[in-house]
Chains A and B, each alone.
Chain A
Amino acid sequence: MHRRVSANPIRRFNYQGDPLAEPAPADLMEILDRYRGQRDALITVLEEIQARYSFLPAKHLQYASRELGFPLAQVYGISTFYNVFKLTAPGRYQVRVCKGTACHVNRSSAMLDHLSEKLGIHEDETTADGLFTLQTVACMGACSLAPVMVINDQTYGRMTPDLSWEILSELVATERPRV
């Protein structure tokens, strides 16, 4: 039997047996318990899980499905419909380049290309050292300061390709102090 590595973590996960064999982690249960019985809460639950774990681990989606009684297909459907949900672990720094209209007109794609080249990754990929994930975003609402880059929760306006890489380089320097 040949093995194919699937990009879909849930499919890979399905064969790992009953997740309820082990109890759900306490901090996950704390989230799930708060929304038990609320039929409209699925998106909020997933948002909270992602806020705590920085992405949606496949196993946690299964716990959520079993504990709250949503079919796994529905949980998966929601997780893939909305852009904010991530099914794989992001890097420590999530770098998002805005490609909204104002940023586009002010050449944000040049910044994206530059960062992509310097980091050696494409959009939606993470560097091998787990430091950076490169993403795009449709608009951050800071259009007057276009082009805009966001790193985690910090927004940087009036960027240039060089300036954006400078900011990333500083982060690299703080993460890997020279010995």
Chain B
Amino acid sequence: MSTVIRIGTSTCGQAAGAESVVSAVNAYVDRRQVPVTVQRTGCLGACHNEPLVEVTDNDVAVLYGPVSPERVSLVLDRHFGGGGGRWVDPSWILSRRPDHDDFPFLARQTKVTTRLCGVIDPMSLDDYLANGGYMALRDALRMPPEKVIAAVKDSRLRGRGGAGFSTGTKWEITRRQPASPKFLICNADEGDPGAFMNRTMIEGDPHRVLEGMLIAAWAIGASKGYLYVRAEYPLAVKALRNAIRQAAEYGVTGKNILGSGLDFEFVIKEGAGAFVCGEETALMHSIEGQRGTPSMRPPYPSVAGLWGYPTNINNVESFASIPSILLHGPAWFAALGTEQSGGTKAFALTGAVRASGLVEVPLGTPLRTLVEEIGGGCKSDRPVKAVQLGGPSGGCVPAELLDTRIDYEDLRRTGAIMGSGGMVVVDDTTCMVDFARYFLTFTQDESCGKCVPCRVGTRKMLGILTKICHGQGTHQDLERLTRLCETVRTGSLCGLGTTAPNPVLTTMRYFEREYVAHVDAGLCPAGICSMRPGTSTRAA
């Protein structure tokens, strides 16, 4: 094996300047005439150290980061001689082992869906095949569809888009519908601000998602699959287009796939920037070319979805889990997680945390492991105040409850939700009232306006929160806010509204003293709110 230099060039890598690093590496290779392969990969997840450069050879594998273009020749001289033994800062060396076991950020993770992200070239089908790609599809196509569904059920995989419904059961319901054709939708809208799990998976290993969808198509009897990708992800769309073209050439899309009799084609639909379009019924309206507003359920998409036909909709990560379930068996997958939910879950760990990035851990892992061991606590060296899960639909878990296990039920008991994987850590310089107000600004803005509780309710809630942040709130306002939360939660048409009060409810539950300080003493304990009417607080 010759030497390979890998550079992570996902959106996050590019934001850190990876393109100039690629140029610098290529220039170095040309100048020094060293026999190496330069490979662009997705993201390893260690985004806080990007740009990442890994040099691997038969017996060496060294991961460096952050590698700015100026550091390229220093780093590469270590491997190819020259430079007169110039000094490389030891802190740039993240790992010296191929399995990265010496790099705490990666060593504490269990990678299933993101196993090949940052390892293979996402534009190369050969790379995917060399790592067991499309083997699971071959296995699945030799099994009766019912057996595939049984395997997915046994794996205890639950939807990764947020609601956590059993994926196998959803497939079974869709399969049982007499109507045809049947459709498949991959939800890659990823609208939660502060979340990038799906982007990383698609940009880093697009074929895995396609393979998962193909297996679902076989199990359900679907003939067409839509990939609904949000507008802000141009690189993900590019990776998918390329992967779909390669899949067609390889013969895993089109007619009579691998001689199984399955006909299936992929269609990419680019979103147009509306958070509510992540909601399944709104998403389907958007695919139909209409305004993306939700509809009443039932009927559920499995019964009457796109154009009224049975439609199975799953999140990117749900589909990406499928190939491993078939390859390693449902029992293996189930054993990774807890009694109620199998497998691993990816989280976008961001905010005040020291080591931010994409983290995949088995379900049942305590929150503390992510925040403290993997994330390394707060970069400000201040105490962690809370962890916000699930974005604008989610809630805050206070530092006292960091030993909560990551599982759908355990998290719901705290008032927060698993959500799709956004995990924002805040330290004690954050005002929780202002934080709640920030999320309400978002939901109020993104409410599609179809139902009154959500359209008007979120507006009124935001008004009260703003009043409190300006030191004008009263105890009556707090009571009104609590009542409004209840009305919006129970009365809204779709999940956007029913979950919108969560950030308020959880902060009121765990940080009531801060609300009271704003109201009683006209004081913001964190010193964030300006406490003067008319002036804006930090929340834009």
Q: Which residues of A line the B interface, CB within 8 A?
A: 39-44, 46-47, 77-78, 81-85, 98-107, 109, 112, 136-146, 148, 153-158
Most buried by B among A42, A138, A141: A141
B391 interface residue (CB < 8 Å to A): yes
- Bound CA–CA A102/B391 (angstroms): 10
In the bound complex, do residue B426 and residue A141 qualify as a contact, i.e. CB atoms below 8 Å apart?
Answer: no
Known interface pairs A139-B192, A139-B194; A78-B291 also in contact (CB < 8 Å): yes
B131-139, B214-222, B228-236, B331-339: which lies at the A interface?
B228-236
Cβ distance B463 to chain A, nearest Cβ, rounded Å: 20
Cβ of A142: which chain B residues have Cβ within 8 Å of it? 11-12, 15, 47, 196
Whether B350 pairs with A102 at a CB distance below 8 angstroms is yes
Cα-based distance from A83 to B290 in the complex (angstroms): 14
* CB closest chain-B residue, reference A136: B540
A2 to chain B, nearest CB (A): 31
Contact A85 B272 (CB under 8 A): yes
Which residues of B sit under 8 angstroms from A85, Cβ to Cβ?
272
Report yes or no: B16 in contact with A43, Cβ–Cβ below 8 A: no
Task: Tell me whether A82 and B274 are in contact (CB under 8 A).
Answer: yes
Tell whether B383 is near chain A: CB-to-CB under 8 Å: no
Q: Which 6 A-B pairs have the closest CB atoms?
A: A100-B193, A144-B47, A83-B273, A82-B272, A157-B15, A101-B194
Contact of B403 with A by CB under 8 A: no
**With A109-B538, A144-B356: A139-B195 Cβ-Cβ less than 8 Å:** yes
Return the contact of B289 from the options A39, A103, A137 (Cβ within 8 A). Answer: A39
8 Å CB interface, B273-289 against A: 273-275, 286-289
Query: Which residues of A have CB within 8 Å of B538?
Result: 104, 107, 109
- List the A side residues contacting B292 at CB < 8 Å: 81-82
Per the bound structure, the CA–CA distance linking A154 and B273 in Å amounts to 18
A82 contacts B273, C-beta separation under 8 Å: yes
Give the interface of B toward A (CB within 8 A): 11-12, 14-16, 47-48, 50, 190-196, 199, 231-234, 269-275, 286-292, 348, 350-352, 356-358, 388, 391, 422, 424, 426, 430, 438-439, 442, 446, 448, 538-540
In the complex, the answer to whether B291 meets A81 with C-beta atoms within 8 Å is: yes
A155 to B538, CA, bound (A): 23
Question: Do A153 and B272 have beta carbons less than 8 Å apart?
Answer: no
29 inter-chain pairs at a CB distance below 8 angstroms, sorted by A residue, are: A39-B289, A40-B287, A42-B289, A43-B272, A78-B291, A81-B292, A83-B273, A101-B388, A101-B424, A102-B356, A104-B193, A104-B539, A105-B350, A105-B430, A107-B538, A109-B539, A138-B232, A138-B273, A138-B442, A140-B232, A141-B12, A141-B196, A142-B11, A143-B195, A143-B348, A144-B358, A146-B350, A155-B14, A158-B16
Residues of A near B272 (CB, < 8 A) are 43, 46-47, 82-85
Cα distance A111–B29 in the bound complex, in angstroms: 38
Q: Which residues of A contact B194 (CB under 8 A)?
A: 100-102, 139, 143
Set of chain B residues within 8 Å of A47, measured between Cβ atoms: 270, 272
Q: How far is the CB of A179 from chain B (nearest CB, A)?
A: 30
On chain A, the residues within 8 Å of B16 by CB distance are 145, 157-158
* Chain B residues, CB < 8 A from A40: 287-289
Q: A100-B194, A139-B195 are contacts. A144–B350 as well, Cβ < 8 Å?
A: yes
A81 touches B288 (CB 8 A): no
Q: Which residues of B contact A155 (CB under 8 A)?
A: 11, 14-15
Q: Could you tell me the distance in whole angstroms from the C-beta of A70 to the nearest C-beta in chain B? A: 9
Asked if B48 contacts A144 (CB within 8 A), the reply is yes
Contacts A83-B274, A155-B14 given; indicate if A78 touches B290 (C-beta within 8 A): yes
Which residues of chain A are within 8 angstroms of B446 by Cβ–Cβ distance?
138
Residues of A within 8 A of B273 (CB): 82-84, 138
Total A-B pairs, Cβ < 8 A: 145
Asked if A105 and B424 make an inter-chain contact with CB atoms under 8 angstroms apart, the answer reads: yes
Q: How far is the CA of A140 from the CA of B273 in the complex (A)?
A: 11
How many angstroms between the C-alpha atoms of A39 and B288 in the bound complex? 8
Q: Which of B291, B351, B356 contacts A77 (CB 8 A)?
A: B291
Closest to A78 in B: B291
Q: A139-B194, A140-B11 are in contact. List 10 more A-B contacts (CB 8 A).
A: A39-B289, A78-B289, A103-B193, A138-B275, A141-B12, A141-B190, A143-B193, A144-B350, A144-B356, A157-B12
* A157, chain B: closest CB distance, angstroms: 3
Chain B residues near A146 (CB-CB < 8 A): 350
A84 touches B231 (CB 8 A): yes
Q: How far is the CB of A31 from chain B (nearest CB, A)?
A: 15
Distance A40 CA – B422 CA, assembled complex (angstroms): 32
A141 x B274 contact (CB < 8 A): no
Residues of chain A within 8 A (CB-CB) of B422 are 101
Given A84-B273, A139-B195, check contact A102 B424 (CB 8 Å). Answer: yes
Chain B residues near A100 (CB-CB < 8 A): 193-194
With contact pairs A43-B286, A83-B272 given, residues A143 and B291 touching in the complex (Cβ less than 8 Å): no
Least CB separation from A38: chain B residue: B289
Cβ distance B232 to chain A, nearest Cβ, rounded Å: 6
* Chain B residues positioned under 8 Å from A98 (CB to CB): 193
Complex alpha-carbon distance, A104 and B83, angstroms: 42
Partner among A78, A107, A141 whose Cβ is within 8 Å of the Cβ of B11: A141
Bound state CA distance, A40 and B228, in angstroms? 14
Docked pose: A50 CA to B126 CA in angstroms: 36
Chain B residues contacting A157 (CB-CB under 8 Å) are: 12, 15-16
Closest to B351 in A: A105
Residues of A within 8 A of B439 (CB): 101
Question: Shortest beta-carbon distance, B70 to chain A, in Å?
Answer: 16
CA distance A171 to B47 in the complex (A): 27
Which residues of the other chain, A, contact B286 by a CB distance below 8 angstroms? 43
Given A109-B538, A141-B232, A143-B196, also A81-B438 (CB < 8 A): no
Chain B positions within 8 Å of A154 at CB level: 14
Are A81 and B274 CB-contacts (below 8 A) given A104-B539, A143-B194? yes
- The CA-CA distance from A156 to B20 in the complex, in Å, is 13
Min CB–CB distance B187 → chain A (angstroms): 15
Q: Which residues of B contact A144 (CB under 8 A)?
A: 12, 47-48, 50, 196, 348, 350, 356-358
| A7 vs chain B, min Cβ distance (A) | 18
* A140 proximity list for chain B (CB < 8 A): 11, 15, 232
Contact assessment for A156 and B193 in the assembled complex, using a CB-CB cutoff below 8 Å: no
Query: When the two chains form their complex, are residues A101 and B540 in contact, meaning their CB atoms are under 8 A apart?
Result: no
Chain A residue contacts of B357, Cβ below 8 A: 144
CB contacts (< 8 Å) of A81 on chain B: these are 274, 291-292, 448
